[in-house]
Amino acid sequence: MTAVAGAALLAQAGCANTSYAPRPDGRIATTLEDGRPMLNKDGKSVPAGGAGLAEMVAGNPAAEEHVGSYTTNTRFGVAEQLIGLGALIAGSIVVVPKQDAMGMSLPVSSERQVAGTVLLVTGLAAFIVSGFHLASAQGHFQDAINIYNDGVPPRFAPPPPWQPASPVPLAPPAPPRPQAAPPPPTPPQAYPPPPSQSAPPN
């Protein structure tokens, strides 16, 4: 049952596609075609790898430099993974006890134990270094795309009918709220007249 579910998930992943087509503005965008990452520019799609990235950023020296670093780090990472895998397999074989003609396990000599331990540690170290190289390669991959996109001159946007419509209907804008009338001015306060002063007697 687990194998069937795993096969179904792999089949779904292999059929994954992005439905939105990037606007042809000279910039690089990432898409999915049959579950594979692709680079898209001006309607052209190429596999998202070293060769495809170099084709997309051609003409931008700074981006091309990052493509070179991406390719170098990727090659180092893959080579280190192969070396690490071989060292782990060899170390496991060395430290496995042998059996005599009677089927009894023979003790592993100290030399074999040391050699197997060195091989196992070397294999793990190679995998760790490989992870750093592959992570650095992905950073250079994104830097190449971002640097190239920043160097693309702006283009005029297509007319409104050609712009892609949003897949989610947008709510109409709310009508403006009526403003309350200002309060009437306060009438001036009336004060009583001052008392009249009588003339002093002669």
38/56 same-domain check: no
Q: How far apart are CA 176 and CA 160, in angstroms?
A: 25
DSSP code for 40: E
74/116 same-domain check: yes
Alpha-helical segments (H) within 33-60: 50-56
* C-alpha closest to that of 86 among 130, 128, 122: 122
Q: How far apart are CA 184 and CA 187, in angstroms?
A: 9
Alpha-helical segments (H) within the chain: 2-14, 50-56, 61-95, 110-150
Q: Are 14 and 28 in contact (CB under 8 A)?
A: no
Q: Is residue 111 part of a domain?
A: yes
Q: How far apart are CA 36 and CA 13, in angstroms?
A: 9
29/66 same-domain check: no
88/112 same-domain check: yes
74/127 same-domain check: yes
Q: Is residue 193 part of a domain?
A: no
Per-residue confidence (pLDDT) for residue 2, from 0 to 100? 47
Q: Is residue 43 part of a domain?
A: yes
User: Could you tell me the residue range of the domain that residue 5 belongs to?
Assistant: 1-48
Per-residue confidence (pLDDT) for residue 23, from 0 to 100? 81
**pTM of the model as a whole:** 0.64
Per-residue confidence (pLDDT) for residue 4, from 0 to 100? 44
DSSP code for 83: H
110/81 same-domain check: yes
Per-residue confidence (pLDDT) for residue 99, from 0 to 100? 67
54/38 same-domain check: no
76/142 same-domain check: yes
83/10 same-domain check: no
Per-residue confidence (pLDDT) for residue 8, from 0 to 100? 46
36/125 same-domain check: no
Measured between alpha carbons, how far apart are the two ends of the chain, in Å?
129
Q: Is residue 189 part of a domain?
A: no
DSSP code for 161: G
Domain count of the chain? 2
Q: List C-alpha distances in Å: 16 to 19, 24, 29, 143, 146.
A: 10, 22, 17, 26, 25
Q: Is residue 178 part of a domain?
A: no
Q: Is residue 1 part of a domain?
A: yes
Q: How far apart are CA 97 and CA 109, in angstroms?
A: 9
Instruction: Categorise residue 186: left if φ over 0, alpha if ψ from -120 to 50, beta otherwise.
Output: beta
Per-residue confidence (pLDDT) for residue 199, from 0 to 100? 57
59/151 same-domain check: yes
Amino acid, single-letter form, for residue 78: V
DSSP code for 100: -
Per-residue confidence (pLDDT) for residue 191, from 0 to 100? 65
pLDDT averaged per 10 residues in sequence order, the chain, 202 residues: 47 65 86 88 90 93 95 95 93 79 70 88 94 95 94 72 64 75 72 63 56
32/91 same-domain check: no
Q: Is residue 186 part of a domain?
A: no
Instruction: Categorise residue 103: left if φ over 0, alpha if ψ from -120 to 50, beta otherwise.
Output: left
